[in-house]
């Protein structure tokens, strides 16, 4: 008999952990607060607590390495402190050296585009401090890797700290018009990703 798997994609809200439970994390929120996920369903991939956007849940643990592989592009919309320059964009596109757990790591070349308009996203329950000290700008960044807090470290390294970070696409699956905290079941996760 063929095993039945459950798959979901969600808009992980800002200030929520990328895990179901919060035992040992006093005052934190977990994904179990969003939906009564069936037993055996877990997150695939991660988004930092202060990042938001597209996150997958599945009962098929074998999908973890496939989805986290370089095969699937991950696109993020990033609000930056300051009006990003063409030189800073070029530095990120070409790859730069960042520190991950005290090791210096070279990022792979990636696609970075300055967005001409602020993207249409659900409001964050705690607004970013953008625009308080200097103008802000938005970029789209497409990666095929996912080092710890990589985008935040990249934008900081070129002088434009990240104010808001939203994953909007993995492979062919887009966040679309999902609202923050919304959960959608999907029949076949790999097929949806393309």
Residues 24 and 11 sit within 8 Å (Cβ to Cβ) = no
Name the nearest CA neighbour of 149 among 110, 79, 99.
Answer: 99
Where are any strands of DSSP class E within 22-172? 42-44, 52-58, 74-81, 97-100, 103-106, 111-115, 136-143, 162-170
The active-site residue out of 48, 50, 81, 87 is 48
Confidence at residue 128, expressed as pLDDT on a 0 to 100 scale: 58
Crossing angle of helices 86-94 and 150-157, rounded to 10°: 130
Strand pairing category for 52-58 and 162-170: parallel
Q: Please state the CATH superfamily assignment of the domain spanning residues 74-170 in this structure.
A: Alpha-L RNA-binding motif (3.30.70.1560)
Give the mean model confidence (pLDDT) for residues 12-40. Answer: 92
Residue 25 CB contacts under 8 Å (≥ 6 apart), including other chains: 17
3-state secondary structure (DSSP) of residue 81: strand
Residue 111 predicted with pLDDT over 60: yes
Confidence at residue 131, expressed as pLDDT on a 0 to 100 scale: 52
Q: Does domain 7-69+172-188 have CATH number 3.30.70.580?
A: yes
How far is residue 145's CA from residue 116's CA, in Å, rounded to a whole number? 25
Residue 130 predicted with pLDDT over 60: no
Question: What digits encode the pLDDT tens for the residues 49-105?
Answer: 999 999 999 999 888 888 877 788 999 999 999 999 999 999 999 999 999 888 999
Mean predicted lDDT score pLDDT of the chain: 90
Does the annotation mark 48 as catalytic? yes
Residue 17 predicted with pLDDT over 90: yes
Residue 32 predicted with pLDDT over 70: yes
Report domain extents, the chain. 7-69+172-188, 74-170
Same fold, 7-69+172-188 and 74-170: yes
How far is residue 86's CA from residue 149's CA, in Å, rounded to a whole number? 23
Question: What digits encode the pLDDT tens for the residues 131-170?
Answer: 566 789 999 999 998 888 999 999 999 999 999 999 999 9
Residue 1 predicted with pLDDT over 60: no
Q: What count of other Cβ atoms lies within 10 Å of the Cβ of residue 96?
A: 14
Residue 14 predicted with pLDDT over 90: yes
């Amino acid at each position: 008999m063929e095993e039945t798997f459950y798959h979901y994609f969600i808009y992980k809200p800002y200030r929520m952990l990328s895990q179901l439970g919060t035992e040992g994390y006093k005052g934190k929120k977990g994904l179990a607060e969003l939906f009564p996920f069936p037993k055996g369903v877990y997150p695939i991939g991660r988004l930092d607590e202060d990042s938001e956007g597209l996150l997958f849940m599945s009962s098929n643990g074998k999908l973890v390495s496939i989805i986290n592989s370089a095969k699937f592009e991950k696109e993020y919309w990033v609000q930056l402190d300051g009006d990003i320059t063409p030189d800073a964009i070029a530095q990120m596109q070409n790859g730069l050296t960042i520190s991950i757990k005290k090791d210096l790591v070279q990022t792979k070349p990636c696609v970075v585009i300055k967005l001409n308009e602020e993207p249409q996203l659900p409001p964050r329950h705690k607004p970013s401090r953008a625009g308080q000290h200097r103008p802000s700008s938005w970029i789209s960044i497409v990666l095929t890797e996912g080092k710890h807090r990589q985008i935040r470290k990249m934008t900081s390294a070129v002088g434009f700290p990240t104010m808001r970070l939203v994953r909007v696409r993995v492979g062919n699956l887009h966040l679309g018009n999902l609202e923050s905290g919304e959960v959608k079941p999907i029949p076949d996760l790999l097929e949806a990703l393309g």
